[in-house]
Amino acid sequence: MNFKDYVILITGASRGIGRSLAIDCARRGATVIGCARSQEHLKEVLKELKPISPKSAVILCDVADRRQVQTMIGKILTDFGRIDILINNAGMGLRQPFGETPLQTIEEIMSTNYFGAVYCIHAALPSMVARGSGHIVNVSSVAGIIGTLNMAGYCASKFAMNGLSESLYHELKPLGISVSVVCPGPVKTEFNRSFAQVPPISPASLIIPAEAVAKAIIKAIEKRRFEAVLPWWLALACWFRRATPNFFLAAFHRALRNHVITYKKGH
């Protein structure tokens, strides 16, 4: 798909999936606006974008802050006139027993992963509705389909994102706006490495490169596909989860029970 003359906003564009996606979209002719919380990393991304997409830009923004998001969307609409594709990729995660996770940390995960997407969609949507076109892509996770051990806060944020995406699909399709949700398994990024050695450890065979996720996102946009799960064997697992929920739950619990971490005294 040629993205020539498209204006694409990518959140969490400074590293990993977002960075790879920004470069891929720019190579396809898009004007890419990348946002993130790290000015230093954004500058590095911009250096890569400018030679292939001179109009592309980066904006410092914490999507968990509603006012920052509103200011960012307003600036993009003023400077570029529209947002053709919004890709909600910003996220944070943690692998830790729920009872030992500070409530503030759970709130931060939900604020970034879920409300960050909500704020961006809510701010960008009126202009898409006015034009009768647009595409919203929410980068979720297999953890938004299959709840896993020691990731309750993260899973909750991604389950919420999947529910939001499905509801918006029905609401916005008649208005000419497409919605996609992309659910990768473990991805080889700094995000994943921050807790990759905390049980249960993902097998190396399940970990996919950020570039593969970026390609899956672009394919979902090209095909106007609602849901994409990758890699394929996790897509199959998600199918079994939906087809035989009780059987899958029992089998998955049996596989994970040896990784249960005993709570510290006082919990």
Q: What is the pLDDT of residues 32-66, one digit of tens each?
A: 999 999 999 999 999 999 999 999 999 999 999 99
The domain total for the chain is 1
Range of the domain at 44: 7-259
Please pick, among 114, 154, 169, 263, the residue that the annotation labels catalytic: 154
154 among known catalytic residues: yes
Q: What is the pLDDT of residues 61-94, one digit of tens each?
A: 999 999 999 999 999 999 999 999 999 999 998 8
Q: What is the DSSP letter of 200?
A: S
**Three-point CA angle 209, 220, 222, nearest 5°:** 120
Alpha-carbon span 20 to 217, nearest angstrom: 11
Q: What is the pLDDT of residues 198-207, one digit of tens each?
A: 666 666 767 8
**Three-point CA angle 32, 37, 39, nearest 5°:** 75
Let me know if residue 264 belongs to a domain.
no
CATH of the domain at 13: 3.40.50.720
Helical H segments across 181-231, by residue range: 190-193, 210-223
Number of other CB atoms surrounding residue 235 within 10 Å: 16
Q: What is the pLDDT of residues 103-155, one digit of tens each?
A: 999 999 999 999 999 999 999 999 999 999 999 999 999 999 999 999 999 99
Alpha-carbon span 32 to 55, nearest angstrom: 8
Let me know if residue 115 belongs to a domain.
yes
Let me know if residue 267 belongs to a domain.
no
Paired tokens of 175: 């208005």
Q: What is the pLDDT of residues 168-194, one digit of tens each?
A: 999 999 999 999 999 999 998 765 555
**Three-point CA angle 112, 115, 117, nearest 5°:** 85
Alpha-carbon span 118 to 139, nearest angstrom: 13
Mean per-residue pLDDT of the chain: 92
* Residue closest to 11 by CA, chosen among 165, 187, 127, 136: 136
Let me know if residue 2 belongs to a domain.
no
Query: What do you get for the CA distance between the two ends of the chain, in Å?
Result: 53
With a threshold of 0.85, does the pTM exceed it? Answer: yes
Let me know if residue 265 belongs to a domain.
no
